[in-house]
Amino acid sequence: MVTLIRFELQKVRLKRSFLSLMALLLLLNVFLLWYLNQPTGDEPPLCAYKAVCQDVSGMTEDEKFTYISDLKEQADGLSLVEQVQSLYSQGSESGDSLAKQLKDNNSDIYKKYEEFYRTGDYLIYTDSLVKERILLDKLFEEISAVSGYEDYLASVQENSNQLGGISIFQSSTSKETFGSRNIAKSAADHAEMSSADIRWFPSKGITMAVESQATDLLLLLSVFLFVGQLIAEEKEKGLFAITRSTKRGLFADMGARIVAILIHSGTVCLLLYGSNLIYASSMAGIGNLSVSLQSLAPYMESSFPISLATFLALSLMTKIGVVFLLGLLLTACAVYSSHSFMPQLVGIGFLSLNWILYTFIPSHSSLNLLKYLSYFSLLRTDSLYGTYLNLNIMGFPFSRTSCSLVLLVILLSVGIAAVLLLFRYGDRLSVNQASVYFHVPFHPHNSLFRHEGYKIFIANRGLLILLAFSILLGSNVFEKNYTPSAGEQYYQSMMLSLEGELTEEKKVSIKAEQARYDDAFIQIERIDQMVAEGSISENDGDSMKEPWYSELAFYPWFQRIQTQYERILSDGSVFIYDTGYLYLLGQMDDDFLINLLLLSLCFSFAFANVMAMEDSKGLWGLLSATKLGKKRIVGYKWMICGVACVGITLLPWFFRSLSISSVYPMGEIWAGIQNIPQYQGFPVNLPLLLFLMLAVLSQLISTQLLCAVVLLISKWRKNYFQILFLALLLLAAPLILAQMGLNVMRWFSVWPLYGWTGIIG
């Protein structure tokens, strides 16, 4: 049996193509971990968390709390001083007045930190005071929660005691509810917990390593690749009938394959999550793994009295079981089906259904059992072991973790039995090579088109790669938080009422709004004059000016309206509410570079082997002699890849349009582009609709160029690993360097053509 297992593993793993794919998965995992954890805006860098982790490593818990508290207080005080100085630097009377009021209301704090602020030597972990304050706010929130762990345990027991006291006065015939039973069970589960082994440190490193959804996606992809080469390829060669007729061909041979899938699942889980921990440790820092799990704030509610090391081990073993379960499903489909593409379709359908259950069923729904016992819920081991949740089963609380593990064991047992029985009694021992016949005339070019599409998307697994990157592109859009500020809401309300041609009614509305602001400025100036003359005190003057300052709160947004109004008076343009268009065209919150990077990676992985797949089997000599010939086949390959490029390029536009337009309405689609102030210098006053079509067309051309580069390299080198390396070097590397801060590198790519709408203006 051991020899058979070793043979099955070597049969796949010794292939250079498979080893190259595994190496690429590892590199892609590290890249995605870096990419998805890059700080955006004013988020603190990962190295800041590592520095904090190192600084607090030798402190007691009281010293840690005092240290973080003092740093937070200092950052808050310095932020106050910076805010006052910023208001003074505006050089306006309103700014000076607001600065003085803020300074007087916090005079003690201002005096304490003013001199320290002027020295400029106050940044410890980041390069800006804003980032420093955000970092310390997060850390203070974490350490405050962990420091209050004993209070949390006391509150759990207190809830149970209160429930017991109430039940004394209840009728003996009254029935217990799920809520009362859940409270009692929660108290019992936490009864043995204590804060004895709690040693706080920043949770960023552990959480980014354990909760990486990109790593889970790559784990599932590796199972698709392994099972396809272990089962499907052998079945395509018709070897199942021979294998099953041997002495040990019934259960031992398939049992060896099952064990090989288990070993592969364990190896890949260990490899990918091991790389996560190494990367997280080097970038964000990981503290002592022997401390209690409850030392980290995100896992404080867990009722498992285990260490962090045990938590990581349990998480890894559970993930291995969950990944192995998918492998069994794919194996069962491969054994049962006579079509080589069926396991991939069933696997994708299974994952899609479970993703829908996990994502869209609310946690409070009566169907939440389907959510919490779905496949993706099983895969989220950080929630299984790091949080506390009881499921309502017939009115009784059952631990989500226990239910999930029992379900996993049952499914694994059923899966193993199903694979063995299907192999023992199944009669589909080879892949059906015959195509489906239709009662229509046979057209060679149509058949060749379908055949090449099958080779690229199914045999070459391009469909899986396109699907994975489609999810990444979609998540990149929907993770954006388009929340208009109060000022933006004012601007939106005004502009939607003004949109279109300028009318007398709109003129009156704008002049009335301008008069309101002019009156506020006049009143503030009058009060300042009274203070200067000594007729009122300075404090009374500040109090009198406060309501007028409130009137001016939205004046900066009104100035944007004034800009459009003055231009309309000069050249007869129209009003446009432009915020949505500015987001869509990349003038605000430009994510074109990130989308282009994802598309470059997608095309490199999906199409690197398109031109080289025939070379690996020496088929070009035979195909060149056919009626259709090599040129026709190559042409269809270009056509299929081009169509796929068009589809995936349009996805971000579709998702972004939906997400942005739901918050920022985009009307006046036939108005000229020069009506938007940022594009008033554009040479031709195209209608907005045509301008958007031009922007989409330029992105389609740029992605077609990316695809062409990959296909040309594929035709030139004819080795998958070399092709992929060169494609990533030429297409992705400049964008990665640009994303890391070397902005000049974006000009060495197709980014100027892809994102030109965010550059001009």
Query: What is the DSSP secondary-structure string of 91-135?
Result: -SHHHHHHHHHHHHHTHHHHHHHHHHHHH----SSSSSHHHHHHH
Q: Say which amino acid occupies 504.
A: E
Q: 383-387, 610-614, 656-660: which has the highest mean pLDDT?
A: 383-387
Average per-residue pLDDT in the chain?
A: 81
The answer, yes or no, to whether residue 24 has pLDDT greater than 70, is yes
pLDDT digits (tens, 9 = 90+) for 597-636: 889 988 988 888 888 776 655 555 545 545 555 677 778 8
Cβ atoms within 10 Å, residue 349: 10
pLDDT at site 203 = 92
pLDDT at site 727 = 86
pLDDT at site 615 = 63
Percent of the chain residues topping a pLDDT of 70: 84
Question: How does residue 538 score in pLDDT terms, banded at 50, 70 and 90?
Answer: confident
Q: Say which amino acid occupies 656.
A: R
- Return d(Cα 210, Cα 315) in angstroms, integer: 8
pLDDT at site 594 = 86
Task: Output phi, psi for 363, to 5 deg.
Answer: -65, -25
- Return d(Cα 317, Cα 296) in angstroms, integer: 21
- Give the DSSP H or E segment for 600: helix 592-607
Question: How does residue 384 score in pLDDT terms, banded at 50, 70 and 90?
Answer: very high
The answer, yes or no, to whether residue 43 has pLDDT greater than 50, is yes
Q: Say which amino acid occupies 600.
A: S
pLDDT digits (tens, 9 = 90+) for 100-159: 778 777 888 888 888 787 777 788 898 888 889 999 999 999 999 999 888 888 888 887
- Give the DSSP H or E segment for 393: strand 390-393
Identify the weakest region by mean pLDDT among 11-15, 75-79, 217-221, 257-261: 11-15
- Return d(Cα 754, Cα 547) in angstroms, integer: 48
Nearest to 11 by CA among 249, 244, 253, 247: 253
- Return d(Cα 85, Cα 290) in angstroms, integer: 47
The two structure tokens encoding residue 577: 């509410």
- Return d(Cα 732, Cα 275) in angstroms, integer: 22
Q: Which residue is listed with tokens 């920022």? A: 664
The two structure tokens encoding residue 687: 């209608």
Question: How does residue 659 score in pLDDT terms, banded at 50, 70 and 90?
Answer: confident
pLDDT digits (tens, 9 = 90+) for 183-215: 888 888 888 888 888 999 999 999 999 998 889
The answer, yes or no, to whether residue 15 has pLDDT greater than 60, is no
Give just the sign of the alpha carbon dihedral 10, 11, 13, 16.
positive
- Return d(Cα 735, Cα 597) in angstroms, integer: 6
More confident residue, 48 or 100: 48
Q: What is the mean pLDDT of residues 55-74?
A: 91
7: number of CA atoms within 13 Å, CB side?
9
Helices (H), 237-336: 240-244, 252-283, 308-336
More confident residue, 350 or 254: 350
- Return d(Cα 333, Cα 258) in angstroms, integer: 14
More confident residue, 362 or 248: 362
pLDDT digits (tens, 9 = 90+) for 471-522: 888 877 776 777 787 778 888 888 888 888 888 898 999 999 889 888 888 8
pLDDT at site 349 = 86
Helix (H, G, I), strand (E, B) or coil at 340: coil
Question: How does residue 166 score in pLDDT terms, banded at 50, 70 and 90?
Answer: low
Annotate 356-372 with DSSP letters as a single string.
HHHHHS-TTSTTHHHHH
Radius of gyration (C-alpha) of the chain in whole angstroms: 32
pLDDT at site 248 = 55
- Return d(Cα 155, Cα 456) in angstroms, integer: 59
Q: How far is CA 435 from the centre of its chain?
A: 40
Nearest to 301 by CA among 385, 372, 388: 388
- Return d(Cα 712, Cα 716) in angstroms, integer: 6
pLDDT digits (tens, 9 = 90+) for 551-579: 777 888 888 888 888 888 888 788 899 88
pLDDT digits (tens, 9 = 90+) for 707-748: 999 999 888 877 776 787 788 888 888 887 777 666 778 888
Cβ burial, residue 258 (10 Å; 0-12/13-18/19+): buried
Q: What is the mean pLDDT of residues 322-329?
A: 92
Cβ burial, residue 159 (10 Å; 0-12/13-18/19+): middle
Q: Say which amino acid occupies 625.
A: A
Q: Say which amino acid occupies 538.
A: E
Identify the weakest region by mean pLDDT among 38-52, 445-459, 628-642: 445-459
Nearest to 158 by CA among 198, 181, 191: 191
The answer, yes or no, to whether residue 443 has pLDDT greater than 50, is no
The answer, yes or no, to whether residue 81 has pLDDT greater than 80, is yes
Q: What is the mean pLDDT of residues 445-465?
A: 74
Identify the weakest region by mean pLDDT among 93-102, 234-243, 537-546, 658-667: 234-243
Q: Which neighbouring-strand residues pair with 610?
A: none
Contact of 496 with 577, CB cutoff 8 Å: yes
What are the percentages of helix, strand and coil residues in the chain, rounded to 5? 75, 0, 25
More confident residue, 588 or 8: 588
The answer, yes or no, to whether residue 14 has pLDDT greater than 70, is no
By residue count, the chain amounts to 761
Task: Output phi, psi for 393, to 5 deg.
Answer: -115, 105
Question: How does residue 6 score in pLDDT terms, banded at 50, 70 and 90?
Answer: low
Q: Which residue is listed with tokens 């840690």? A: 64
pLDDT at site 9 = 56
More confident residue, 225 or 239: 225
Q: Degrees (nearest 5) of the Cα angle 598, 604, 608?
A: 160
Which residues 6+ apart lie within 8 Å of 118 measured at CB?
none
Q: Which residue is listed with tokens 């790091």? A: 386
Helix (H, G, I), strand (E, B) or coil at 396: strand
More confident residue, 541 or 437: 541
pLDDT at site 619 = 54
Helix (H, G, I), strand (E, B) or coil at 203: coil
The two structure tokens encoding residue 405: 């593990």
